[in-house]
A and B are shown apart, each in its own frame.
Chain A
């Protein structure tokens, strides 16, 4: 069961040609005391049919909800079938990083299209071809901004806590001082930001829409940061791009985030894909693989991995990051998703998300005991304040096979509604909230 091809006879012939008596002899360099005396203590292999059955059984222990109102960094969207089919074609799936450009033009061009589309979404000049996930993208963006003199980073408390956790990890590794900027009415507190700015601060990191679903005042943040020579790193849900002013046009220096909403399954958190884009002036600081256009010897337009002098295999310890393998196939899925949706379709997805979340929000706020916690403009998530027991609400929803909102605190919950949720499903959800209100 190991996909080994050669027969025992062929293997014997090969050993003979090598000039050894048996396989054990091939491992003569392994010290005797290190060699295993007994086989590994794991089960015997079984056929793929039995494995499938076993794995199906494990999969069935995960609950499939008929509808969900939970987001908080991982979103359920409608994914056209064509996305899965095309991105799984075996050439795309079973190839390595495109080191040999002559036989990797498909992957390279796909990455170039990804970079182009990411730049288009945000009005940026340069994008890399992906990093591990949205959180590590924000952390890498943070590292990009550091200089010898500027080793402090401001970050907004309204960033997704998981992203904050990853930033903290990277900051500890690189001995960076992190300073938290408080929130006011669910958004970054501009006064607190101004207070905490200093000469040693290299960048301020924000998220919009933020953890509570709200749009931050990017323009204001950029203006006051740039006055002091502080860069602005914005983490963003790419799906909102067709609707709001672009980070590029507002002067954001690095835009980054999680592209999972662009055609990737929630899949218990991964694989997702982090994206990073910036202005031309920061091009050589951008980590990760970057694909560039060139020509082959006959002058035919083609693509190669480029600006490799930034990278670990050339610069070793002087590289901007150690990243090597990234999330190429996830990025390809995003490109195909964006192609399938197209210019109009992506705007429609965004508009539907916004319309449905506002419909749900309005309906919820009409029920006694529920109110919108923060008043700012939101996208597909919003925070509801309620005195009722949120665990009880979620238990009731669960009985109907509905995944309820994320409990943020005793009295607040984060509700997510996307285009994947029908009005009927929203109304069913609302009816449970009403029920709780009536009984409480």
Chain B
């Protein structure tokens, strides 16, 4: 496809501003730009056609099945978009007087109330921009908590080997040393945990259900052990979609959490953001939560409040507000029964797909799963020379987005499926049929899967070339 720069024609333009109605001010020559300034020059119709064409080369949930594990690609209700584009939400300044933005503060306050009930936390801040930012913030709260008690020796964070890559990276951003513990049967190995627990442990990061889609039934024992050494427990909420209305992270013994509003709460991923990594905590950590907080006064008004012990701010204002607006819309729409129905069906769909596929592919840790499960395709690699990526690329030919591949790291040739609750039995049956056919192709060699996809505008990419000879921007060819 042509780049916007390549469609540029001198003096083509679209939007015309209102005429300048004050005297022209010219900037002092000594500071004026003295290098060429290049942006595309394009008429509105050509601009529209360019980006419409790009959109057709972008596969979204609206295009088809999108079982990207740990990413919860559920349907994004259109009502969310309508509400998020209300002028009363889009055209307000973040530094208006609180009396002029009571509605915005109410959005934050109400969302906090509902999500606290869902998670068993006491407070939530919506400042972090996405999950990893929530982790960074949550661990910072834990760091500040220990230091506030004069405990400066806690420099370790324990993370199971099945964790998301963001977990260790967020710990490192907080200056913590990462202690990785191996899993046993896909779950936390209590003996391994015992080995690393001591009074230098700041905390444990865990997602439950974990990245294998398994619910760790030893959870109470795990959190109790960490607490007994004075450590805190951090919950990575990427997989919350499995347990809403079933159980709460707070009851599992977690002290601090983040939620990915762009996963569980149906706000769109936008091709990689904006999201929200809402960060929640128990009462005893509230002094350290990000500033400012939003409270309801005894006059029934919403107001800001600051804490002197807070970790401070992680974004300039209050986070991705319009994403929280979409979340509240979704929460009000679904209500308590709807949320439980979400988790029931997310888990039902994952198990249905698992059971239907287990005779064709090897399921890693084949037992009742939560919202996702992992296939291990190493036997296909050994017997037929077909790798997980080949199966994925072939799925594309059938208008499906592939699952998460090569993750979690503890499963070889991993394919991680998360169908979510917004797919029906009919769709799942069709997916099973297609995947079984792909398996036949893999075994018989009737189609060379290493060359898939066949039906799309683009074939497989030369990623090595991209990394070895980096071209990271368009340069005008003179």
Contacts and interface: CB of A to CB of B under 8 A. Distances in A.
Contacts of A86: 47-48, 51-52, 55
Interface in B144-187: 144, 165-166, 168-175, 178
Contacts of B52: 86, 89
Contact of A115 (B246, B423, B472): B472
Contacts, number: 693
Nearest to A122: B35
Interface stretch (A194-202, A337-345, A432-440): A337-345
A358 interface: yes
B135 to A, nearest CB: 6
A17 B88 contact: no
A20 B351 CA distance: 10
Interface in A58-74: 58-65, 68, 70, 72-74
A272 B318 CA distance: 11
A48 interface: yes
B60 A94 contact: yes
Given A132-B129, A339-B4, A344-B13, A160 B60 contact: no
Q: Which of B396, B453, B458 has the most CB of A within 10 A?
A: B458
Interface string B339-374: 111101101110110011000000000001000000
Interface in B1-21: 1, 3-5, 11-15, 17-18, 20-21
A306 B463 contact: yes
Nearest to A333: B270
B46 to A, nearest CB: 9
B474 to A, nearest CB: 4
B132 A325 contact: yes
Interface stretch (B91-99, B227-235, B380-388): B91-99
B89 A107 contact: no
A357 B76 CA distance: 41
A102 B335 contact: no
A226 interface: no
Given A62-B104, A172-B311, 15 more contacts: A31-B220, A42-B336, A59-B88, A101-B461, A102-B460, A173-B174, A241-B33, A268-B321, A293-B472, A302-B461, A306-B467, A328-B271, A330-B270, A342-B12, A377-B27
Interface string B266-279: 10111111110000
25 contacts: A4-B422, A5-B425, A11-B425, A40-B245, A43-B335, A61-B88, A86-B51, A86-B52, A88-B81, A96-B271, A105-B458, A109-B3, A136-B315, A243-B32, A245-B34, A270-B274, A271-B129, A271-B323, A289-B272, A294-B463, A300-B458, A339-B42, A339-B47, A340-B15, A348-B17
B274 to A, nearest CB: 4
A343 B39 contact: yes
Given A26-B351, A120-B39, A160 B345 contact: no
A92 B169 contact: no
The 3 closest A-B pairs by CB, nearest first: A269-B317, A59-B88, A45-B335
Contacts of A31: 217, 219-220
Given A166-B313, A325-B262, A82 B133 contact: no
Q: Most chain-B Cβ atoms within 10 A of its Cβ — which of A242, A297, A339, A423?
A: A339
Interface string B444-475: 00000001010011111111011100111110
Interface residues of B, number: 199
Contacts of A292: 466-467, 470-472
Interface in B75-97: 75-77, 79, 81-83, 85-96
Contact of A91 (B58, B71, B82, B320): B58
Nearest to A41: B117
Interface string A1-40: 1111110001101110111100101111111011110011
Contacts of B66: 96
Nearest to B246: A27
Interface string B300-334: 00000000000111111111111101001101111
A375 interface: no
A315 interface: yes
Contacts of B214: 29
Nearest to B243: A30
Contacts of B344: 23, 26
A54 B106 CA distance: 12
A268 B317 contact: yes
Nearest to A347: B37
A103 B58 contact: yes
A117 B39 contact: yes
Given A269-B94, A348-B17, A354-B25, A296 B315 contact: no
A180 B356 CA distance: 62
B247 interface: yes
Contacts of A386: none
A311 B169 CA distance: 9
Given A52-B83, A175-B175, A271-B321, A44 B335 contact: yes
Contacts of A383: none
Interface in A300-334: 300, 302, 304, 306-309, 311-319, 321-330, 332
Contacts of A269: 94, 315-319, 321
A104 interface: yes
A215 B31 contact: yes
Contact of B58 (A44, A105, A349): A105
Contacts of A46: 332-333, 335
B433 interface: no
Contacts of B316: 73, 133-135, 160, 162-163, 166, 258, 269, 272
Contacts of A328: 270-274
Contact of A377 (B28, B107, B129, B471): B28
Contacts of B27: 243-244, 354, 377
B269 A249 contact: no
A169 B289 CA distance: 12
A127 B335 contact: no
A239 interface: no
Contacts of A273: 274
Interface in A232-260: 241-246, 248-249, 258
A268 B318 contact: yes
B57 interface: yes
B440 interface: no
A5 B24 CA distance: 60
A14 B260 CA distance: 28
A349 B102 CA distance: 32
Contacts of A131: 129
